[in-house]
Amino acid sequence: MRIYPASSEEALRARKLLTEWTADGYLSKEQQQALEEETATDLRTTNIFLRLVLFVFTVIAVAAAVGLFFAIFLSRASQPATGFLLLIFAAVSYTAAEVLAEKGWYRHGIEEALAACSVGFLCSGLEMLFFSSVRASHEAQWIVSAVGAVVSLWIWRRFHLWYAFPAAMIFANYLPGFWTSSQAVQHLFVALLYVAGLVVFAPVRARHRFDYLEGAYSLAEAFLWLGLYLILNLQISQLGLMSLVGSPGMPGRLHQGSAGLFYWTTWVLIWCLPPLILARGVRLKDRLILAAGALTTILTFISNKPYLGWPRHTWDPMLLGVALAGVAIYLRRWLAQGPDGVRHGFTAARLSDRDRHAMSVGSSFLGLITPHSVTPAPQPAQPEVQFGGGRSGGGGASGDY
């Protein structure tokens, strides 16, 4: 089902680990070279910067080519005709991605961009072909989102592209909006969908605990936990974070006075989910799920006051930072006091430079979202009261006051 051979991906994973171990001093250069000869692969890779550049330029080139085709040959085409041609372009883009992958292109950016363009062309083509006319039945428009979710999952499975999985989650997030106008039902449907995904992933992931698919399933499960939390936290849309997973409607409309039982149930759930996610991450020793648990814990503290209708203050970020620093210092000392600095398989010592990179990325992300989400908006300044122009006195006396 996957386009790349399992042996080749295992070899790439082994070569990546050899590079990390050599950089950390666990292997010498001679040992690395000897072991790399045993992990040769036919897949051709590139660095992350060239990969991003090729991805962006391929998307621009494909979009420009399609636009030029319509401008020259079909400048006045009807929407159904345009939709039909977009479906053809989707098939061509996907076929080109398959051909490049079959030739051994692995994370080059070009085949990734072609696969991504095929999803965009497919959804746009279906929308314009079947639902652009006035007489079209918009009740079946959910099919476009369903097809987008299924195709994104297929690309995630077929090409092993991690970002295709959250794309499928975004498509699925819009499905209930076509069936019901109830915000509570929409949130509940998406939450149940994510729970079903977690239930399905648990036994599948157990079979790939120590192979090359472990990272992909770990990241996908972390996305599901994070998406479940975000869809249940009704205050997230007000914090500007709902764009991470899409929004089936306007979650901010469910507020304290109008939602009743569902509102307060979600408040209880956002306090219950972070410990559950953290426990899952500790049990599996999975840093991605642990990161999702830590992030949801911080978001719970951030959104608690808006949930309860309490006023926010400028010192809230300071208190949150002090609390997080205290927890970090306590955990670090607790782990360091274990035998050889290890407790239950966890240590506070840095074992790899990869940890430093992960901490840098996490700190940058939290630095971007925390100040804007915790600090209340500035209040408009009161106009300064000016005194003057009054008249007082008697006997001809007068003065300003």
Res. 253: pLDDT tops 60 = no
Residue 58 — pLDDT band, cuts 50, 70, 90? very high
Q: Cα angle at 37 between 35 and 40, to 5 degrees?
A: 115
Range among 10-19, 29-38, 216-225 rated most confident: 216-225
Bigger pLDDT: 364 or 325? 325
Res. 389: pLDDT tops 60 = no
Res. 299: pLDDT tops 80 = yes
Q: What is the mean pLDDT of residues 316-328?
A: 91
193-233 confidence digits (pLDDT tens): 999 999 998 899 888 888 888 989 999 999 999 999 999 99
Q: Is the pTM of this model over 0.75?
A: yes
pLDDT at position 13 = 87
Question: Taking all residues of the chain, what is their mean pLDDT, rounded to a whole number?
Answer: 83
Bigger pLDDT: 348 or 52? 52
pLDDT at position 196 = 95
Q: Give the bridge partners for 343, in sequence order.
A: 346
pLDDT at position 212 = 87
pLDDT at position 353 = 64
- Taking the alpha carbons at both ends of the chain, their separation in whole angstroms is 87
77-102 confidence digits (pLDDT tens): 788 899 999 999 999 999 999 999 99
pLDDT at position 31 = 83
Question: Alpha helix locations (H) across 103-213?
Answer: 110-130, 142-159, 164-173, 183-206
- 32 C-beta neighbours (distance < 10 Å), count: 17
120-174 confidence digits (pLDDT tens): 999 999 999 888 765 656 677 899 999 999 999 999 999 999 999 999 999 999 9
**Which helix (H) or strand (E) segment is 346 a member of?**
strand 346-347
**Domains of the chain: which residue ranges?**
44-179, 188-335
Q: What is the mean pLDDT of residues 102-127?
A: 93
Question: What gap in Å lies between CA 332 and CA 349, rounded to an integer?
Answer: 9
Res. 286: pLDDT tops 50 = yes
Q: Cα angle at 230 between 226 and 234, to 5 degrees?
A: 165
Bigger pLDDT: 382 or 47? 47
Q: Cα angle at 368 between 234 and 364, to 5 degrees?
A: 125
Nearby residues of 286 by Cβ (< 8 Å), 6 or more positions away:
218, 221, 222, 280
Nearby residues of 48 by Cβ (< 8 Å), 6 or more positions away:
none
Residue 391 — pLDDT band, cuts 50, 70, 90? low
The gap from C-alpha 101 to its chain's centroid, in whole angstroms, comes to 25
pLDDT at position 236 = 82
Residue 261 — pLDDT band, cuts 50, 70, 90? confident
Res. 302: pLDDT tops 50 = yes
**Burial degree of 49 (CB within 10 A; 0-12, 13-18, 19+):** exposed
pLDDT at position 240 = 43
Question: What gap in Å lies between CA 176 and CA 174, rounded to an integer?
Answer: 6
Q: What is the mean pLDDT of residues 287-304?
A: 94
Of 280, 146, 283, the C-alpha closest to 226 is 280
Res. 324: pLDDT tops 80 = yes
Residues 153, 168 contacting (CB under 8 angstroms): yes
pLDDT at position 377 = 54
pLDDT at position 376 = 52
